[in-house]
Amino acid sequence: MSGNGEMMPDHKNRDRRSYILTLSCPNRPGIVAAISHTLFELGGDIAGAQQFDERESRIFFMRVVFSVPADGIARGGLDVALARVAARFSMKWSLRENPRPTRTVIMVSRFDHCLVDLLYRWRIGELAIEPVAIIANHPRQTYAHIDLDGIAFHYLPVTAATRGEQEARIADIVRETDAELVVLARYMQILSDGMSEWLAGRCINIHHSFLPGFKGAKPYHQAFARGVKLIGATAHFVTPDLDEGPIIEQDVERITHADSPDDLIRKGRDIERRVLARAVRYFTECRVIPNGHKTIVFNP
The ranges assigned to domains in the chain are 16-98, 102-297
Query: What is the arithmetic mean of pLDDT over 249-264?
Result: 93
Q: Where are the beta strands (DSSP E) in 31-152?
A: 45-54, 59-69, 92-97, 102-108, 129-136
pTM above the 0.85 mark?
yes
End-to-end Cα spacing for the chain: 11
What residues are labeled active site? 243
43-100 pLDDT, tens digit each: 999 999 999 999 989 999 999 999 999 999 999 999 999 999 999 999 999 999 998 9
For 155, phi then psi, to 5°, come to -90, 110
Q: Where do runs of H (alpha helix) occur along 90-243? A: 113-123, 163-176, 193-198, 219-225
Bridge partners of 97? 19
**Within this chain, domains 16-98 and 102-297 share the same CATH topology:** no
CATH of domain 16-98: 3.30.70.260
User: Hey, which CATH number is domain 102-297, 3.90.740.10, 3.40.50.920, 3.10.20.30, 3.40.50.170?
Assistant: 3.40.50.170
